[in-house]
Amino acid sequence: MKKLIVITGASSGFGKEMALHFSAAGHPLLLLARRTAHMLALNLPNTLVKEVDVTDYKAFETAIHEAESIYGKVDLLVNNAGLMLLGNIWTQDPAEWQTMLNVNVQGVLNGTKIVLADMMARNEGSIINVSSIAGKKTFGNHAAYSATKYGVHALTETIREEVSATNVRVMLVAPGAAETELLQHTTDNDIKEGYNEWKETMGGISLDPKHVANSVKFMYDLPQEVSIRELVIAATKQGS
């Protein structure tokens, strides 16, 4: 059996496609999200499904230790779980800012801490953090969301530098606008409509999540001594 891969936010979008890709390649999986039915419906072999909120450190840690007791040590953690709550700072509910900080930043830190020390001791292992093109450049209505994703870029690069001598890879993928459920979390309907109108400038079709999954698998499949530090991927017609 191949090595264990953990994917957060695995019930839809990028996470779901990654689960399908890595399972097809023969990897055992731990799939984590708040909606277990969606993950169970994939019916993947050698797969443990757990209802876990990544902001709950103990639940996150317990799930990983259970999977390791079955499938061996985690070789790849994909910190994919995230929320996009778009809004203007002068009108948006501050609770939405905190929710995004908790999931998008604290959740990534939680997962990283749980697996990293053991990876460093073994001198092997990979962590891939899913950020966003909004973690590299700004967009209207994205202030708080971009702040969290800029944070993911910063923590990824900092940790990569800190652990590089141990041969552990800490990498990042930054997708552009994609066909996922992220926009559904936004509570401002006017912003949703504006986002969809912007998508129409790309022909109404944004990035297919399967291409992000392919890219993540490519990053992982390279030899351990090779690290793609950061990959930005977007639809060709996305000009901004």
Long-range contacts of 45-50 (CB under 8 A, 24+ apart): 46/1, 46/71, 47/19, 47/23
Instruction: Report the C-alpha gap between 212 and 234 in whole angstroms.
Output: 9
Cα-Cα-Cα-Cα dihedral sign, residues 137, 101, 106, 56: negative
Contacts of 27 (CB under 8 A, 6+ apart): 2, 3, 4, 5, 46
- Give catalytic status of residue 145 as yes or no: yes
Contacts of 99 (CB under 8 A, 6+ apart): 83, 85
Instruction: Report the C-alpha gap between 211 and 135 in whole angstroms.
Output: 19
State which amino acid sits at residue 155: L
Residues 145, 150, 195, 220: which is the catalytic one?
A: 145
Instruction: Report the C-alpha gap between 219 and 226 in whole angstroms.
Output: 9
Q: For residue 233, what are its two tokens?
A: 């991927």
Residues classed as catalytic? 145
